[in-house]
């Protein structure tokens, strides 16, 4: 297991880009709200802790994880001044193939957004076999994947800025 010995919430602020003026969007699934709200809180707290101004954080909700790519796409289109977007969701394995279809569709959708748009979308979707695994990764023994996603968003936002700076005209 990739996270068996890892706390997802560990980061060093001194090694991160300056985040004060960054604008970050969060699209949060309403399905499994006990998990997604913990992921949101982990991301929000890390963004604030690293210097992002509260007013520069935008949150939208969508009904479920499958709707995350559409919500992120609409956020990209509505806020061209955003530096990054975090897609927050949770899908727990059940008895049917529904889990597979939802996970494949939302993963493909977020990947396509990253390839087609200039605003990076960070994948903060827990796809676990059990609720206990999701709880362990949303503020439990493995920390909070939302925190990890916030740090990834800051790094990708900086990469976006750097790439624009070096882009040849």
User: pLDDT per residue over 23-79, tens digit each?
Assistant: 999 999 999 999 999 999 999 999 999 999 999 999 999 999 999 999 999 999 998
The model scores a pTM over 0.85: yes
Q: Minimal CA–CA distance to 83: which of 46, 50, 120, 55?
A: 120
Residue 111 confidence (pLDDT): 97
Residue 3 confidence (pLDDT): 53
Domains of the chain: 20-166 (3.40.50.960)
Tell me the H-state helices in the chain.
33-49, 68-78, 98-116, 131-136, 145-166
Run of H or E including 70: helix 68-78
Is 2's pLDDT higher than 80? no
Q: Which are the catalytic amino acids?
A: 98
């Amino acid at each position: 297991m990739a996270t068996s010995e890892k706390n997802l919430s560990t980061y060093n602020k001194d090694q991160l880009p300056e985040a004060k003026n960054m604008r970050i969007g969060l699209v949060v699934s309403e399905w499994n709200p006990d998990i997604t709200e913990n992921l949101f809180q982990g991301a929000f707290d890390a963004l604030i802790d690293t210097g992002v101004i509260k007013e520069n954080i935008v949150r939208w909700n969508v009904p479920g994880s499958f709707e995350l790519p559409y919500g992120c796409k609409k956020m990209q289109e509505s806020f061209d001044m955003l530096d990054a977007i975090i897609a927050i969701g949770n899908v727990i394995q059940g008895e049917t193939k529904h889990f597979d279809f939802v996970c494949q569709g939302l993963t493909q959708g977020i990947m396509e957004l990253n390839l087609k748009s200039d605003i990076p979308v960070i994948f903060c979707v827990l796809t676990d076999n059990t609720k206990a695994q999701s709880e362990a990764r949303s503020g439990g023994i493995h920390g909070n994947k939302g925190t990890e996603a916030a740090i990834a968003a800051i790094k990708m936002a900086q990469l976006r800025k750097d790439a624009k700076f070096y882009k040849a005209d």
